[in-house]
Amino acid sequence: MSTQPREPHWHDNQLPASTPDDGAPPVRIPWQQEPVNLQGNYGQAPDAGALHPNSQSAYSAHRPPHSYPGMDAHPPVPARQPVTRVLGYHRLSHADPNTRWWSPLVEGLIGLGVFAGLTFIITLPLLAAMFVDPYYANVLTAPDPMKSMTDAAFENPWMFAYLFGSIAIMFPSLWIARLCMGPRPWGLVHSVAGRLRWGWLLMCTGLAAVFFVFVPMIINAVTGAGEAPLLRQPPQHLWIFIVLLLTLVPVQCYAEELVFRGYLMQTIGRWLKHPAFAIILPAPLFMIGHTYDLWGQASVLCMGVAAGFLAWRTGGLESGIALHAVNNIIAMFGGLMGTGDPFVQQGSTFADFAVVFAIELIYVLAVLWVAKRRKIQRTREITY
């Protein structure tokens, strides 16, 4: 009889062990009736803990429940880590993941369509008045209708309301377009805070009022300039014009800032990352929208660049709205009182441009200083 140990007999429900000799414990394979020792020591008594389904064997202590040999070859895919982006004002269109690169183009087309429809609606009464009152017929059929309408705006409150109301409707036009195409929420067009920051707006309005009132007074006192002769007499029922001035003109300025700084800056920022593109490119379009003479157009161009820079640097439109509104209210009040021509269609000089440029430069520096002290929010963090 041979004294050599008997070779193990393999059954259909068992598998041979062929792992290296690394001291690994027995592994219980689900289809085996007996444990297989990975070191090749067959025929030993099985570990009761490895066989009992509710016990924790040496193998299960090193592997998670319901695991099996070879599971580590296909580890679970780790969960996607959230990504945080810091966006400047001109890049806020990226805050809405549902928008696409072409979304601003469709938004602009929708806005233009709504603007054309609203313009037609508010122009119908004026066209109807042509057949009733010869005054309106003479205004609208003049050789230069734009100049005729601006002159009539200081005589007729209805013409004043139409002139500024036809610009103010840019606000509902953009609002409807952005509700359709995003980015959402709507408040992102105002600032990185997702809303109009009223406290900051009032602060900037106060700064603009101080500089636009007192700087010209100081310049006139230094240069010895006297009072300018009246260009026209104040209109009758001046109080009606004052009410319209204080209600319609701020809305008109707000609407222009929404379009030329809000929509255009964020549209360009959607495609071009550097803020210089978003600040400079909309300024010529803003200038073309005003029919002024040479130095008047230069002043408008500087205002567009200043407002765009402040929108990026302060994270919102508030400082630009304040600059625009205070400038227009003071200019239009001078036009109503007959001391100036707010539409500057002829006769402006380099000195006029230099004064406006100096006021806007001082205002920009003051806003930057106050924004730094008040720690005005400049960017928005978005987590995807």
- The Cα–Cα gap between 307 and 279 comes to 8
Q: DSSP class of residue 77?
A: P
Closest CA to 378 of 278, 326, 309, 321: 309
Distances (CA, A) of 214 to 10, 218, 296, 339, 375: 104, 6, 21, 17, 27
Per-residue confidence in pLDDT tens, the chain, 384 aa: 445 555 444 444 444 444 444 444 554 544 444 444 444 444 444 444 444 444 444 444 455 555 555 555 566 777 777 878 899 999 999 999 888 999 999 999 999 999 999 999 999 998 898 888 888 888 888 888 888 888 889 999 999 999 999 999 999 999 999 999 989 899 999 999 999 999 999 999 999 999 998 888 888 777 776 666 777 788 888 999 999 999 999 999 999 999 999 999 999 999 999 999 999 999 999 999 888 888 989 999 999 999 999 999 999 999 999 999 999 999 999 989 988 888 877 778 898 899 899 999 999 999 999 999 999 999 999 887
Which two structure tokens, joined as six digits, stand for 194?
């997702």
CB-based contacts of 85: which residues, under 8 Å, 6+ apart?
94, 381, 382, 383, 384
Q: What is the residue extent of each domain of the chain?
A: 1-40, 87-383
Which two structure tokens, joined as six digits, stand for 171?
């606000």
Q: What is the maximum span of the chain, computed from C-alpha positions, in angstroms? A: 138
Residues in the chain: 384
pLDDT, residue 12, reads 46
Q: Tell me, yes or no, if the pTM score tops 0.85.
A: no
Handedness of CA 372, 376, 378, 380 (dihedral sign): positive
